[in-house]
Structure 1
């Protein structure tokens, strides 16, 4: 998943013809962090993804849809995509298959006790 997110983030920046410096200025995320994310050297946190989604005018679920595998009408629990940000105790599970042909998407999100 990290590799697919990295590839998509790099493509979004390239589509806009922004340098890493320009994206850093617009998103308030350091150039070094952006470089490591685009090279899949680190996993993105929810906070950083939120800043980048805002900068690109995307929702988080739309970005995740862009990087998830092909559409399947049913996803069993053991095969559902799970994304975890341990730095804030956040866990996101894609319960329903994200697809442009569906009117909605079901997510299961959890926060560790005391997290905000």
Structure 2
């Protein structure tokens, strides 16, 4: 797991991620104000993320992925140093949403043309993540709980999942992932682009 960087030394992944977000915005000819309006995020938050002055939250990255038509794994894969057909466990990119404690491991080797990917997620007890939209409408997800309990709401339907349970859904609207405790939840998320 990555450790929080010092104030003078931004995390290298945050620096590459910020640069890629700025590139995506520039490719579309958008100003920060244009992107802020499309994503529903403040201009200052976007500016700070692009300059790696702050580590973006999962909710912010989700909104930006939706605007740019990418999954989070695709975006994070674009900032990795070099794609490979095999990624050893020790080399799998790990990203943490420091605000919620959510930890995301990209298990699948990164590739710009991915249609399917595996992600390992960990939520601490009490964590509650809400996404206002999918990064790509119609995204197919298979969520398999490996440890703990997870409450997932998709398309207005709540699902209480325990160890070993698997939920398959196609995501069109808001989703929510909550770990009711008492322990942490660990799960595998298989994501398939429509």
- Fold shared, TM-score > 0.5 on shorter chain: yes
- Pick the structure with greater CA Rg: 2
Q: Distance in 1 between matches of 2:64 and 2:115?
A: 25
Question: By how many angstroms is 1:62 displaced?
Answer: 1.5
> Match for residue 73 of structure 1?
85
Structure 1 stretches of 4+ with a deviation exceeding 4 A read: 100-103
2:37 aligned residue: 25
Give the count of matched residue pairs. 116
Gaps of 5+ in 2: 1-12, 129-194
Structure 1: any 5+ residue segments left out of the alignment?
none
Q: Could you say what secondary structure the match of 2:87 adopts?
A: coil
Q: Which one has a larger percent helix, Structure 1 or Structure 2? A: 1
- How large is the Cα RMSD of the aligned pairs? 1.6
Structure 1 Cα separation of the partners of residues 100 and 115 of structure 2: 30
Classify 1:49/1:103 alpha carbon distance in 2 versus 1 (closer, same or farther; 3 Å). closer
Distance 1:100 1:41, change over 3 A: closer
CA distance in 1, matches of 2:24, 2:112: 19
Q: What's the TM-score, normalizing by structure 2?
A: 0.55
Give the Cα separation in 1 of the matches to 2:98 and 2:62.
15
**C-alpha distance after superposition, 1:9-66 (max 9, x if no partner):** 0001001111111111111111111111111111110011111111112221221121
Q: Deviations over 1:57-111 (max 9, x none)?
A: 2221221121122122332222221000021121011223122576632211111
* 1:1-116 pair list within 5 angstroms: 1-100=13-112, 104-116=116-128
Q: Whose strand proportion is higher, 1 or 2?
A: 2
TM-score normalised by length of structure 1:
0.89
- Pick closer, same or farther for the CA change 1:61–1:47 going to 2, 3 Å: same
